[in-house]
Structure 1
Amino acid sequence: MDKKTQTRLYGWLRKQSSHGRRWIGLSILCGLGQGSLMVAQAWLLATLLHGFIMAGIRPEQQIPLFIALLLVTLGKALLAYGREVTSFKAGAAVRQTIRAVVLTRLSRLGPAYIQRRPAGSWASLLLEQIENMQEFFSRYLPQMAIAVFIPVLILVAVFPINWAAGIILLGTAPLIPLFMILVGVGAADANRRNFHALARLSGHFLDRLKGLRTLQLFMRTQAEGKEIEEASEDFRVRTMEVLRLAFLSTAVLEFFAALSVALVAVYFGFSYIDHLNFGSYGVKVTLFTGLFVLFLAPEFYAPLRELGAHYHAKAQAIGAAEQLLEFLEAEVAEPASGNQPFAATRPIRVEARGLEVLSAEGKVLVGPLDFTLAPGSRTALVGVSGAGKSSLVNALLGFAPYRGELKVDGQELASLDMSQWRLSLGWLSQNPQLFHASLRDNLLLARPTASDRELEEALKGAQAWEFAREKGLDYPLGDQAGGLSVGQAQRLALARTLLKSTQLMVLDEPTASLDRLSERAIMASLEQAMADQTLLMITHRLDQLSTMDQILVLADGNLVEQGHYHTLSEGQGPFAQLLSQRAGGSLDD
């Protein structure tokens, strides 16, 4: 990572700190308060010891100083606690904001974009990488201000009583930040490599875990296990590289700090045996002076050491910010989302004129297309795999950018408020997503206020009531619909879709995982449930096409034919060729 990139990433991180400015400011104030009380504490301790040892003052004569020392110590403890609390809240506020920005962009880009990367990679970006910015905002940034103020405060306290000790402190102070910078030069690159390795491991492991059954059937578990082992080893090496730099920097900073304190101690030692007679403005060095400076000397370097210890947090945050900023600033086409209200009380009309569906990079995936879905009509979308059916549906659902006209009830889709538009949509994919929750909770996603009676009616309409009644509505589903067969999961998802009151239903092979008897029963239920809705259905089943009002045939991203089943099947066009090339009543490849 070049210096220019590091500077840009650091600038972006500093800009994000504005989201936690109040808490960062409070953390700095607590740290400054600790520094001020620390000087007072050193003065009180030096005064008490000088009085006991040199002046022969009895302890009972120093009770006010003891009380003051106790109050100062208590005040330092309270400020330390306040600093910890405010520092954490500062990091939490910034992380929450950054995570919200990432989630908002992911929401705008839609599922079509998200599926381009493994789920584990997104999880790493949202969780580990953002989480690893915590120390930068909660520790490093506040410490930068404290590391300047406290040494200056101590120098102001030391120089009036001994200029030689002040010069020693001032002369040795630059050694710590200098070495901190030298060690930290490669830390950002090490952290960046570490995060890349983590993202690779997360995505790789989750994908293989989800596909474990397939790997076992193809006897690839050992080979894939070896790849996971290699990814784990790469992550281990990268992690140890980061830790090595962190431990090295801490050890060397402690060494220089101890060396500097030793120089101060040596100076006072030689002064007390009359080998050095300078530094105290012509007067003899007192025990008070030596104790006061020696009490403050470790505290003089402590903020710089702490800043050095937190310097790896800066490198860690810069390494984490690279992928994050790359994602946030990526020049990709987002699905349009306007703010015009939309409310449908009758079947929706869809019109496409010169419609071109685009990829995130602006490449034309489908189109140009011209078609109309009349209100209450039944339309089938057919074509071989890769013809563009899913891309067209993604545009209609508001998940893909497009050019041209795509109007719903006379309003341009891109100008609508997508949240209101999707309230009017019913959607069932070929591989529906059921969540790790109860059967009831999965159904209530469609309508949270639905009663058990309404849930039962929806389940009956989807031919899912028998197994749902047997298992119970509170039956917990495992991850990826664990505990249900593929057909049961499909019917449960269909019941969830039927539960939603919609005016446009989009179905992607709703009966793909069902037997013929269940398929016919569900199609009959769908006919009844969608009597007052517009339907667009992706299907390969021949016996479902004859009941459709129109068929749209896609090939290589183009609409090559449209019309009624009987008209298309009796012609010599692409649809008739598809029919002649398939057997067994299906258009599947």
Structure 2
Amino acid sequence: MAKRRSPDRLLSQQAQGTLRRAALLSALAAALWPLQALALAWGIGGWVAGAGVRESLLAAAGFALIGILRAVLDRVAARQAYLAADGVIHKLRQGLLTREALRPGAAASSAALAAMLTEKLAVLGPWITRYRPAMARTKLVPLISLVLAFSLSWAVGLVFLVTGPLIPIFMALVGMAAKEASARQMVEIGDMNTLLIDRIAALPDILLLNAGDASRAAFEARAEGLRARTMAVLRVAFLSSTVLELFSAIGVALVAVYVGFTLLGELDFGTWGTGLTLSEGIFLLLLAPDYFQPLRDLAAAWHDKAAAEAVADELDALEADETAPVLGQGARAEPLAGPASVSLDGVAVHRGDQLLRLPDLSVAPGESVALSGPSGVGKSTALDLMAGLLTPAEGTVRVAGRALDADTADAWRGRVGYVPQGVHVPDMTLRRFLDPHDFGADLDAALCKARADGIVAALPEGLETVLGETGAGVSGGEARRLLLARAFLTGADVILADEPTADLDATNGAAIIDALTELAAGGRTVIVATHDPALVAAMGRVVLFGEDTA
């Protein structure tokens, strides 16, 4: 079994400090119980012995005041731990979103990432809020209870000394199984989310092929797998809880039996020669449950730690993903000065364990070029490189006469109009989508040039229509024409289009080709990746991508 690494590495220095304070306050609150127990035992003992009302009231007041102090300390400690947990989870989510947004080719699927951001990172909350305070209480309270018990009765101290360590021993043994079960459960949660997203994306095809029953069966099988993994975690949790409760119950029962028979005069050993008074016996009885309580709390939090370790391992795997990030910061910048030219020189990119080499390519300003060839030879990859969405493992991408790097990428993208195969329309009005920076240009003219004016006319609220996250209300070809309209509107002088006529009928395909040729005729640099002979013929030059050049 691989050596387990502590999930403490996920905590920032500030969170570590906050948690230390929370743990200290929690331990101090728990350490006040012996004082409460002493006040209660003294009060009961005095009342039985016939002490006055004043002594009883003093004991009750002491018990209440210490209880209030404990409650305040517990509340402050819980608040500090919650703030630390909230800050850590927020920071991890923000960092993960930022990092993965800049790595479009990352190994993690969107479903797996969503599962990590929602369900899995939330698992860290109980570990942060419970484990550290429980560990602090375990280090302090049993030791205090053990010393106090031995000071009154070596027999009770011996019971504590023998039964107490059994709990951490069994907790460690069960913890190994708990981590494995938690890790399997986390994997199953990710797989479940991935399957759900895939089925939703393929829903039209599932309905078209009448594959609903088969899809439902696959989903039911995955759900059953998740149920089995979850039950495995619960079985481990209940097993460990039963074992630990057994030892603590045995320990408390032994103390109760010893104190009872000693006070009845049936036992005359186990003390330091003076016997036990009623107050001392009650004090030991009140002390016994609290001796075991921190150990029981730690055992419960140990499962939280096991789940946190599983999540931390997955985060490490995401960190280890060497997918190159998107160049730049994705911020708005002034357009990069220079000619609208693009070139690839000795460029190669990682595709899994393989190195994909692309043909050298030089596109002059105002030129229209079609990248053609079989699927999988790097046409789309070349467009992503030209847009700064990928970083080459070898070679140089030059744009506007300069190397495309982190310093120039944002400014270069200010000149680029990118039309991907799958168009994502944010949740905003069509007017804002077409003119996000409020250029104030003629929207109607841009839509006419892109052959998209009819699309807007068919929408219920025209330019004020909110299309939604997936562009609901327009087809794929219509969404691509809207992107071309934005290129006309913003004045982008470099157009990169990935299979812009794929899966379109002749009418929509012809409209896309007309819009691209009009952009080229207007002096824009147009580069398309395509299998469409009609689009290839409409471009001024063809660059062949093939197995011999990849």
TM-score normalised by length of structure 2: 0.88
| 1:259 and 2:250 matched | yes
Change (3 A) 1:320 1:401: same
Instruction: Write out per-residue CA displacement over residues 31-65 of structure 1, whole angstroms, 9 at most, x where no aligned residue.
Output: 1221132222222222222222224321x554444
Deviation sequence 1:445-481 (CA, Å, 0-9, x none): 6764427876555545434444435422453435533
Distance in 2 (CA, whole Å) between partners of 1:393 and 1:34 is: 62
User: Which SS does the other structure have where 1:185 is aligned?
Assistant: helix
Displacement of 1:246 in angstroms is 0.6
- When the two chains are superposed, the root-mean-square deviation of aligned CA atoms in Å is 3.0
Q: Does 1:113 align with 2:103?
A: no
* Residues 345, 395 of structure 2: 8 Å contact kept: yes
Describe the superposition over 1:483-536 as per-residue Cα deviations: whole angstroms up to 9, x where unpaired: 333333333343445454534221123344666566666655556667354321
- Cα 1:288–1:209 change in 2 (3 A) is same
What residue number does 1:483 align with?
Answer: 473
> Once the two structures are superposed, what CA deviation does each residue of 1:225-271 show, in whole Å capped at 9, x if it has no partner?
21111111111111101111111111221221111111111111111
Equivalent residue for 1:33, pick from 28, 33, 53: 28
| Counterpart selection for 1:77 from 71, 74, 83 | 71
**Alignment partner of 1:283: what SS?**
coil
Contact 2:335 2:411 in 1 (8 A): yes
Residue in 2 aligned with 1:133?
124
Does the 8 Å contact 1:113/1:360 carry over to 2?
Answer: no
Residue 172 of structure 1: CA displacement? 1.5
Going from structure 1 to structure 2, the CA distance change for 1:23 and 1:490 (only over 3 Å counts) comes to same
Q: Which of the residues 217, 237, 250 maps onto 2:241?
A: 250
User: In structure 2, what is the equivalent of residue 385 of structure 1?
Assistant: 375
CA drift of 1:107 comes to 3.5
The answer for the alignment partner of 2:397 in structure 1 is 406
Determine which of 323, 347, 366 is the counterpart of 1:376: 366
Does 2:197 align with 1:206?
A: yes
- CA distance in 2 between counterparts of 1:306 and 1:135 reads 12
Structure 1 356/61 Cα, relative in aligned 2: closer, same or farther at 3 Å? Answer: closer
CA distance in 2, matches of 1:458, 1:434: 18
Alignment check: 8 A CA contact 1:347 1:376 kept:
no
Of 274, 296, 300 in structure 2, the residue corresponding to residue 309 of structure 1 is: 300
1: CA distance between counterparts of 2:450 and 2:47? 90
Which segment drifts farther, 499-508 or 537-546?
A: 537-546
C-alpha distance in structure 2 between counterparts of 1:360 and 1:400, whole Å: 14
Partner of 1:494: 484
SS of structure 1 residue aligned to 2:151: coil
Task: Show the counterpart of 2:283.
Answer: 292
Residue 354 (structure 1) shift? 2.1
In the TM superposition, 1:464-543 aligns within 5 A as 464-468=452-456, 470-472=459-461, 473-477=463-467, 480-500=470-490, 502-512=492-502, 531=522, 533-543=524-534
> In the alignment, which residue of structure 1 is the partner of 2:208?
217
More displaced, 455-464 or 503-512? 455-464
Whether contact under 8 Å (1:347, 1:504) holds in the other structure is no
The Cα of 1:21 is off from its aligned counterpart by 0.6
Q: Which runs of 5+ in 1 are unaligned?
A: 560-589
| 1:166 maps onto 2:157 in alignment | yes
Q: Secondary structure at the match of 1:344?
A: coil
Whether 1:66 aligns to 2:30 is: no
1:298 deviates by 0.9
What's the CA shift for 1:79?
2.3
Residue 416 (structure 1) aligned with residue 380 (structure 2): no
Structure 1 residue 174 displacement after superposition: 0.6
Deviation at 1:291, TM superposition (A): 1.7
SS at match of 2:497: strand
Separation (CA, whole Å) in 2 of partners of 1:301 and 1:501: 73
Name the CA shift for 1:524/1:483 in 2 (closer, same or farther; >3 Å).
Answer: closer
Q: Counterpart amino acid of 2:324?
A: E
**Structure 2 CA distance for partners of 1:23 and 1:533, relative to 1, 3 Å:** farther
Distance 1:82 1:548, change over 3 A: same
Change (3 A) 1:159 1:457: farther
**Alignment-mate amino acid for residue 47 of structure 2:** F
Amino acid at match of 2:345: R
Query: Contact (CA 8 Å) 2:434, 2:483: kept in 1 or not?
Result: no
Match of 1:46 among 31, 41, 50: 41
| Distance (Å, rounded) in 1 between the aligned partners of 2:149 and 2:445 | 83
For the residue of structure 2 that corresponds to 1:49, the secondary structure is helix
- Structure 2 residue aligned with 1:355: 347
Structure 1 residues 503 and 278: alpha-carbon distance in aligned structure 2, compared to 1, 3 A threshold: farther
Give the whole-Å Cα distance in 2 for the aligned partners of 1:187 and 1:123.
Answer: 24
Q: Describe the shift of the 1:15–1:518 C-alpha distance in structure 2 as closer, same or farther (beyond 3 A).
A: closer
Identity %: 30
Cα-to-partner distance string for 1:258-305 (whole Å, 9 max, x where unaligned): 111111111111110122234443323122212222212111111100
Match of 2:183 in 1: 192
Tell me the CA shift for residue 29 of structure 1: 2.0
Match of 1:579 in 2: none
Q: How many residues matched?
A: 542
Rounded Cα–Cα distance in structure 2 between residues aligned with 1:66 and 1:273: 27
Partner SS state of residue 366, structure 2? coil
C-alpha spacing 1:458/1:439, structure 2 compared with 1 (3 Å): farther
